[in-house]
C-alpha cells in the first residue's frame, strides 16, 4: 500500500554559484546551514537565521560574516540599509505563503533604492508530505559543497508564484531562470 502523501526527492542538481554584484552590504536571510552567501562574499554579509544551530553550522567554514539570530518577518534593521538581500534556498523553510510574503516585504523595506533581491529556490510541488532537494554547489573559487535540504511538501512553490509575490510587493524583475527542480529570480527595488 502506498502512502497517500509521498515524500519527494530530487535528483542531484549541479548548481554553479556566482559572486554578487557591487561591493555594498548584503543581508542573507536564512543564511545558516551551508552559509553559501557568506562563503562567497565574506565580510560584506550580515547573515540571519531563525536557529542558532544553523548559524553554528555555517560558522564552521570560518567566514568573517556578521551572524544574527533573527526572524526574517521582523528584521532589526533600519529602512534602506542593504544593497542586496539574498534568499538562497531559504524560502522552502517558510512553509506558508503568509510567512514568505512577510519576509519579502521586510527585504523590500531594508533594501536601498535600486537594491537587488536575489532568490534561489527549489520547486516544491502542491502535493507530497516533504521534499528533499539534493544539490552539488560549485562556489566561484571552485569549492564544492554537496548537501540536501528537507522541507515541508505541498507548498506549491514555483517560479511563477514567487514572481507574482515579488511583483505584488513592488519589486521589478531583472532576471528569471527555471531549471526544473529549482529556479533563480533577481529583482530590484523600484
Q: Which residue has the cell 553554528?
A: 56
Query: Which of the pair, 57 or 108, is modelled with greater confidence?
Result: 108
- Check pLDDT > 50 for residue 59: yes
Query: What pLDDT, on a 0 to 100 scale, did the predictor assign at position 190?
Result: 86
Query: Which among 136, 137, 111, 139 has a CA at the least distance from the CA of 22?
Result: 111
Query: What pLDDT, on a 0 to 100 scale, did the predictor assign at position 1?
Result: 45
Q: What rounded mean pLDDT belongs to the chain?
A: 94
Query: Which among 56, 51, 58, 53 has a CA at the least distance from the CA of 37?
Result: 58
How many other β-carbons are positioned within 10 Å of the β-carbon of residue 149?
17
- Report the C-alpha gap between 20 and 41 in whole angstroms: 8
The predicted model gives 98-115 an average pLDDT of 98
- Rounded to a whole number of angstroms, the distance between the first and last alpha carbons of the chain is 52
Model confidence over 25-37: pLDDT tens digits?
Answer: 999 999 999 999 9
- Report the C-alpha gap between 31 and 112 in whole angstroms: 20
Reported as a pLDDT band with limits 50, 70 and 90, residue 4 is low
pTM: 0.94
Amino acid at each position: 500500500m502506498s502512502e497517500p502523501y509521498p515524500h519527494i526527492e530530487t535528483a542531484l542538481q549541479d548548481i554553479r554559484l556566482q559572486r554578487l554584484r557591487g561591493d555594498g552590504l548584503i543581508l542573507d536571510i536564512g543564511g545558516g546551514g551551508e552559509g553559501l552567501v557568506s562563503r562567497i562574499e565574506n565580510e560584506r554579509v550580515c547573515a540571519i537565521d531563525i536557529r542558532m544551530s544553523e548559524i553554528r553550522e555555517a560558522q564552521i567554514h570560518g567566514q568573517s560574516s556578521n551572524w544574527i539570530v533573527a526572524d526574517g518577518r521582523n528584521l532589526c534593521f533600519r529602512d534602506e540599509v542593504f544593497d542586496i538581500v539574498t534568499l538562497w534556498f531559504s524560502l522552502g523553510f517558510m512553509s506558508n505563503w503568509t510567512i514568505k510574503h512577510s519576509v519579502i516585504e521586510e527585504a523590500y523595506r531594508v533594501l536601498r533604492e535600486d537594491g537587488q533581491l536575489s532568490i534561489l529556490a527549489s520547486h516544491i510541488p502542491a502535493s507530497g508530505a516533504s521534499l528533499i532537494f539534493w544539490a552539488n554547489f560549485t562556489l566561484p573559487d571552485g569549492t564544492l559543497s554537496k548537501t540536501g535540504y528537507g522541507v515541508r511538501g505541498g507548498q506549491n512553490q514555483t517560479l511563477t508564484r514567487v514572481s507574482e509575490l515579488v511583483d505584488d510587493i513592488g519589486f521589478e524583475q531583472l532576471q528569471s531562470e527555471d531549471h526544473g527542480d529549482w529556479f533563480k529570480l533577481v529583482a530590484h527595488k523600484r
